[in-house]
Amino acid sequence: MTAFDPITALFVLMLASFVGLAVIKGVSRLLHTPLMSLTNAISSVAVVGAILVAGGGHDGLPTWLALGAVFASTTNLVSGFLITRRMLAMFKKREPRKA
């Protein structure tokens, strides 16, 4: 789609890495476990790549491989977001129930 050259890709990669390092450093230590599952979920945006290949209207092996990738990434996507939400819901400041 977009015009593209390797240097542009590297530029974006470089900047995104700096952004990543900066934001992750700011994450509360309390939340390192949910952070791990959230970034797992985020990296399952690879599903976009899988859809692009699987949906290209080709036949044969490449499509089947890409469908495998759709499956694998969807798994990550769903389980990653759900478990992150589940874990985060546990963090409460004030005591909400009587034990």
Contact set with its own copies (CB under 8 A):
2-5, 7-8, 11-12, 15-16, 18-19, 22-23
Give 10 or 82: the residue with its C-beta nearer to its own copies: 10
Neighbours of 80 (CB within 10 A): 20
In the region spanning residues 14 to 73, those forming contacts with another protein, defined by CB under 8 A, are: 14-21, 23-58, 61-63, 65-73
Give 5 or 95: the residue with its C-beta nearer to its own copies: 5
Q: Give the shortest CB-16-to-its own copies separation in angstroms.
A: 6
**CA–CA dist 9, 13 (Å, integer):** 6
In the region spanning residues 67 to 86, those forming contacts with another protein, defined by CB under 8 A, are: 67-86
